[in-house]
Chain A
């Protein structure tokens, strides 16, 4: 049982950031804008929020500081994603190129600023956010150890984001409009929806969530930020596609990769895997190979938004 608890707790650390970022990607892509920049936005969100933690940690600690960092991550991600929105929506630029530019920009910017300010590119921070046991809830048998022990508050934020995303995109007027803009923007426009505004909203939400995802990835797995989120933005993109741009499937996909990643990084803590004569590097390859195999079987009937990647031009209606 202890092994199961360990695996679930570890899985959360890997799955939650993927979940948040992939859901962010969903908002952008369902509105019709391909967002390949998730990786760069994660780096940007991670950079500013970790920098804030680094600056404030002598004056405060624990959950309040983490919540401030989450806010900073969301805002910086949203602001950075405006560059993508402006290029993709107003200037009708190639969305892949614009996204790639942001991916190139973010790590360079983070390294440049960190080294100009403090001399080294790693930003250290103290992890005062770990929750050994949530009061009361942590004592519930089975469920307590699974979800409310050895956790970070970011896990609950991630789960809340998942529920809210599902509700917003499937049950609200805004969600309906967003989906319409991704499927048939001309039709949406003809009933008086401002396609540009809705698409801006989609990209900004994706930026805010990806920025938060950057922080959520870094805090449980490290105590320094090195201008990188280890390809998690790209992995989130894979989760989004594997999840067929649908909330429930994205949740399943994110947890699938979370488990795969857990085996890759924590296999030495799992007795029966530790005894197998397989090298460390092989375990690290597994999540990526699994992604390939699953995508090969699940991509035939892609449910991608139909207007995805096509700049909207009012004149072409």
Chain B
């Protein structure tokens, strides 16, 4: 009984439980939407959503991992900036710029030897993403410009700029998209494609997990991470303690940008038949990253699982088309989850009260 009390009152499990409650509330709301739009098919469709990737065996699972990989990276990006008290809504632009850098290197730098080409392309993606993140960071640190606005502007500038660059350097005019990258630039599949029976599988997901661990260590085990979090919690106090807040703002946005750009590289070097397109649409992975980060409470491990969860129900959502539903119902559910997640404080208080009650009950028993 004592163990249970600790479970309810510890901080980590408390966040976890409030995330679960938000998910439950969001799913319930989704069920209501399904019932209103088509009551007859609502329940089988809802079961389809819950089953997600598991509905179609290993290939479905592979699809979940494929969709999760880039949004785990953009989620890490947004979450990392959150820890410094910054809202990186510009993940979308950083993602696109990184993706372009990866494709450009993948197409043009064929002089690189096989084992190195894809690594250089990925590093290039991170570097260009970082460059895109540096602008809001520097403007915030030097001129006190609201980073939400600057990163939104950078999203649009990036989108239009990359459209120009695709046409100029790596354009396939017939399909109005980028040309395929050289085979040496494709991330190794290491037999995973055969194991899962889908061409979308490669070692990206392991690279993503590696990044999660890396960011976890940086945030929780290093002085730099401690300083970043201190700046996020109280800028004034950390300034007083001699922490260089301006430098940390810039570094935080640079790392956030690098993570998003890296995610773009991972997606477009997967050799899965996905190409950069010349469209006036912001990359949705950036905005999904916000959902992933919020649901994961900005904790790297939480982000890993929330990324997998969102990919899981996204696959489930596309399966609901079997019952004549529109897959956008998943976006509605995710939005509802985030909205309920905003009540974290309320949920936490409820859980704490519940924890107290059960601890009170233990005392009475004893």
> Which residues of A are at the interface with B, using a C-beta cutoff of 8 A?
36, 83, 87, 91-94, 96-98, 100-102, 104-105, 107-109, 111-113, 115-116, 231, 234, 237-238, 241, 279, 281-282, 284-285, 288-289, 291-292, 295-297, 299-300, 302
Contacts and interface: CB of A to CB of B under 8 A. Distances in A.
B157 A104 contact: no
B157 A289 contact: yes
A104 B338 contact: yes
Interface stretch (B52-60, B148-156, B196-204, B218-226): B148-156
A292 B153 contact: yes
A254 to B, nearest CB: 15
Nearest to A93: B342
Interface-central residue, A92, A231, A281, A291, by most chain B CB under 10 Å: A281
Contacts of A87: 339, 342-343
Contacts of A297: 143
Q: Which 10 A-B residue pairings sit nearest by Cβ, starting from the closest?
A: A108-B331, A105-B335, A93-B342, A101-B339, A104-B335, A101-B338, A97-B342, A98-B342, A299-B145, A112-B328
Given A285-B160, A288-B153, 4 more contacts: A97-B294, A104-B334, A113-B37, A237-B148
Interface in B285-307: 287, 290-291, 294
Contacts of B187: none
Contacts, number: 132
A108 B332 contact: yes
A248 B315 CA distance: 49
B345 A91 contact: yes
B87 interface: yes
Contacts of A111: 326, 328, 331
A116 B37 contact: yes
B150 A292 contact: yes
A237 B331 CA distance: 24
Task: Please classify the interface of chain A as helix (H, G, I), strand (E, B), loop, or mixed, using the class held by over half of its residues.
Answer: helix
Q: Which of A108, A289, A302 has the most CB of B within 10 A?
A: A108
B329 interface: yes
- Scoring B89, B157, B336 by chain A CB atoms within 10 A of each residue's CB, the highest score goes to B157
Contacts of B160: 281-282, 284-285, 288
B164 interface: yes
A216 B153 CA distance: 22
B294 A285 contact: no
Contacts of A234: 149, 152
Given A97-B342, A112-B328, A281 B144 contact: no
B139 A285 contact: no
A295 B139 CA distance: 9
Contacts of B346: 91, 93
Contacts of B341: 97, 101
A231 B332 CA distance: 19
Contact of A295 (B149, B157, B342, B344): B149
Specify which of B145, B153, B164 lies most central, judged by the most chain A CB atoms within 10 Å of its CB: B153
Nearest to B337: A101
